Amino acid sequence: MNALAQIRDRAKVMALRVLSSMRQRAIGPYSLAVLAKTENGLLLTPAGDLMIGRRLCFNGCYDPELVNVLLNQCTSGSEVLFVGAHVGALVIPVARKVRRVVAIEANPATFELLRTNVHLNGLTNIELHNFAAGNSNGEVRFLANLLNSGGSGLAIGEWGHWAYTYDRPTSVTVQMKRLDDVFPEDRFDLIVMDIEGAEVLALEAMPNLLQRSKGLLVEVFEDHLRQVAKVTDDEFLSPISQFYDEARILPEKPRKGEAIATHAYSRAAFRQMMRDCCKLRTANVMFWKGHALNCSTD
């Protein structure tokens, strides 16, 4: 990162801290969460959260293009696994359509909001788990962010770098579990994963779940890939490639008129897909078996 980019990012962080403090003061120093009535559902978000929480409160929706892509891959009989469910902005709308959702959230405070949001929306087909997905079973250190609660994650790699500690995260101990051990017989049609750099750890320990799934949506954030996880494109693709036939990049927050998904990359072109994805800095990638992936927004 060049000096100009660092100055810009640090100025942005200072502004976010001021806005978060103002928001917290405006709604009261003892407030824990803000309730928003959105297209995604009734959702409580952390009082000081200026990312997902602010978008929900001011926009009345969160990632509508991504929600539609997920819904288009599901039927009323689908079973979906969310790894890194946060407060449920994606979980709630998907659960309204499918037969069963399993949602995993590692952050204890966020998990309580997720559990409350499930009740607020009257959904009974969501199974909740409070642990971190990884490549072993045991206790691990977890960094819980405040300004951007969705950016919380396992304390691995270069989490000590200012770009990750600017949020002054709270360090907590959480349980980490291998997903194949937790769900030895489950078959999920779709797996959705966003765990802030720990994706490779989780993917390495779930080959059976990947083999039984139809699709995998996973966040690819270049900084987390290189600085937190410290893995190459090949290392990222290694636990995934053998199970899926094609992939599409879903740019984050596409501009008006911009395609919500790229052309399909065949398995032989997955390396090129990763290079193209990293040029965007952050995006989601949908891996799919066969060639029936529907990325329309209808």
Neighbour tally for 108: CB within 10 Å: 13
pLDDT in tens, 267-276: 999 999 999 9
Q: Provide the strand spans (E) within the chain.
A: 33-38, 41-46, 79-83, 100-104, 126-129, 132-133, 138-144, 153-154, 170-177, 190-193, 215-221, 246-251, 265-266, 282-288
Share of the chain above pLDDT 90, in %: 66
8-12, 131-135, 229-233, 259-263: the lowest-pLDDT one: 8-12
The 10s digit of each residue's pLDDT in 241-257 is 999 999 999 987 766 65
Structure tokens at 47: 């009082």
Q: Indicate the pTM of the whole model.
A: 0.91
Domains by residue range for the chain, with CATH: 62-288 (3.40.50.150)
